Every structure is written in structure tokens, then in C-alpha cells.
A = this chain, B = another copy of it.
Amino acid sequence: MSEIRYDVVTGKIAVISTERGKRPHDFKKTDVVKNDGPCPFCPGNENMTPPTLVEFCDEKGTWKLRGFNNKFAAFSKDTNSSMVEGDNELHNELHKANDGYGVAEIIVESNHHDKTLGQMEIDEIQNIIKALILRYDEIVKDKNIKYVQMFKNFGANGGASLEHGHWQIMAVTFIPEAVERELQGVEKYKNGKGTCPYCDIVNDELTEKTRVVAENDRFIVICPFASRFAYESWILPKEHKKAFNKIDSDDIKSLSSLLKYIINRYEDLFDYPPYNIVIHTLPHQDERDFHWHIEILPRLTTFAGFELATGAYINPTPPEQAASILRLD
């Protein structure tokens, strides 16, 4: 049997297998990123990348974290060409397009080629978050930018093309539909109940406890009720806060501690599985309400025809079971 669950904010459907939840050893380990030749993200190879945009150094002046433009950018400010040539009204109606104006940057997490996020010290993770915020605040000075998407791909099945740990920042001239849907979901829920749905989720999960993985003074890690991915987790600020880039140094410390915890649990339980980390925050020019959060999406199963055809997801592990396994009781 299975159960169809609806995300309270977006309405997105997750089909949760209730009969036999897949446990960590049920997932095959098939994921290796192998790069030939020198690593462009390693110290000494800085000339293989564009110039430094942000870096943190140790007392000897050696960089510990380094950010720069993505050499293979999906978005850039160099937008002088277009493939689309309209020749009549119908043609133009069918072929709506814009140039790919935007920003694509890389943050290299550390100067160690194969140190993982779960292996890092908390202050190293704090530096990553600080660097993301520094770049965010710089990037949004460009008024053409509507949204800054920050994310991390890990492992081949997570879409990482380089092994050396890194984050990506992509700034675009539109509000992505997944973010817009959450914004509208928050608005609709607030209009009905007068409260923020994410605040209600935090309070409900703290009461019920079955989907809580970890918590500290400022943040909570849960496996969301309508988890689309097996062992999916979210990190939410306990207090209602709209925007990731407005967090203070105590937030950064608390967040880093939980991020290390949850990634370390994945690494231990699934032997360094592929995953994506995505940050959802209020678009910086937006007046609406939001509750920023982080989604961690382990890539243990494959998107297949059903997901691509329908937009609904089949998840073989109930989040209650996932949380009980991810939790250190």
C-alpha cells in the first residue's frame, strides 16, 4: 500500500510507500565522480579558474575558501546574441525567449580536494555560509537580478561534475516557479489561518516529534511530511525569518552545526551518497512574506517516467522511518 501526501504549502504530491520502507542498505551505491587531470579547484591551480571574487585565508595567507565566476556559466552578463529570429506574430507567440542574463559563481568549500561537508569543522561550514551571504549581497546590487539560487551538488548522481567540494550561486532575472509556488502557498495559508505554514510546521513537528531529526536553539531538522525524496530533510529556522542573507552570526553558527550533523549522518548511513542542498529564500525585491529554509535531497533513487510525466514523486521510505534512522537518540 501507499499513501498520497500533499505538501501544505505547494500542494505537491508525494506517493509514500507504506508497506516496506527502504532502509539505507536497500539503496545501491553506484556513485563516483572521477576527474582526469589536475583539479581546477585545488590550491596552486587558481590560474585554471576565473579571478577570485571572495576568499578566506589562514594566518599564513593561504586560502581556505575561494569563490569565482563559473567558467562554464549557464548565465552571464555578456548577453549580446540571440538565437531567436521572429518572422511573424504566430511565430513570436510560440517562441517566447529572453537572453540568459545572470550570474553563475562557484564557492570552493576548502583547499582539501576530497574533504566532505560532513567531515568539516563547524567554523569551516560557517565560512561557506558567510561567503554565500557576501556574494548574495554583492550580486543583488544589480537590479536586473530577481532571484539568487544557492545550492550544492554532491556526487555524480547529484549532478556534480567535479569532485572537489563546492557550492554554486546562480542569479537570474526571473523568480523560479518552485520559489513562486512556495511564496503563493505561504500567502494563501496566511489568508486562511492567519499564520505562516512553515512556523506551524515547526511547532507541529516539535510537538509530534516523529519527523524531527535534530534541533538546537535556532534551527530544526525534519523529514518533511510530504517528502518527495527518500530520506529528504529540511532545515528550518525556528523563528519566522524571511531571508537567508539576513541571518546573524549566532544563526550562522547554529545552522552550521546542524548542517554538519545531517550531512554527516547521510555520509555514515549511505557511504557518501549523492545529494543536493538547495536554499529557498525571499526574492530580494519581493514585499511578500516567507520563511526561508534549506532542503537536502539525497539522490538515492532515480527520477523516472512517472515523476517526469506527472510532477508527482514516488518515495519508497516514509519520512517517519527516515527520521528515526537519521536521528541519533
> Which residues of A line the B interface, CB within 8 A?
1-6, 8, 11-13, 15-18, 30, 73-76, 78-84, 90-91, 93-100, 147, 149, 151-153, 156-160, 168, 170, 172-174, 176-179, 181, 193, 197, 200-201, 204, 208, 225, 276-280, 295, 297, 301-306, 308-312, 314, 318, 320
A314 to chain B, nearest CB (A): 5
A253 to chain B, nearest CB (A): 24
Q: Find A297's partner among B3, B168, B308 (CB 8 Å cutoff).
A: B308
Q: Find A3's partner among B90, B100, B308 (CB 8 Å cutoff).
A: B100
Residues of B with C-beta under 8 A to A1: 76, 78-81, 99-100
Q: B100–A174 contact, CB under 8 A?
A: no
Q: A157–B302 contact, CB under 8 A?
A: yes
A2 to chain B, nearest CB (A): 3
Knowing A5-B97, A159-B305, A310-B149 touch, does A318 contact B83 (C-beta < 8 A)?
yes
A169 to chain B, nearest CB (A): 10
A-B pairs with lowest CB-CB distance, top 4: A159-B304, A2-B100, A151-B305, A176-B310
Q: Could you give 6 example pairs across A and B, Cβ below 8 Å?
A: A4-B97, A5-B96, A6-B97, A8-B93, A159-B305, A278-B308
Most buried by B among A93, A297, A301, A304: A304
Knowing A75-B2, A311-B178 touch, does A149 contact B306 (C-beta < 8 A)?
yes
Additional pairs, 10, CB under 8 Å, beyond known A1-B76, A176-B309: A1-B81, A2-B99, A2-B100, A4-B97, A4-B98, A4-B100, A94-B197, A153-B304, A179-B309, A181-B311
* Nearest-neighbor residue (CB-CB) of A176 within chain B: B310
Q: A168–B100 contact, CB under 8 A?
A: no
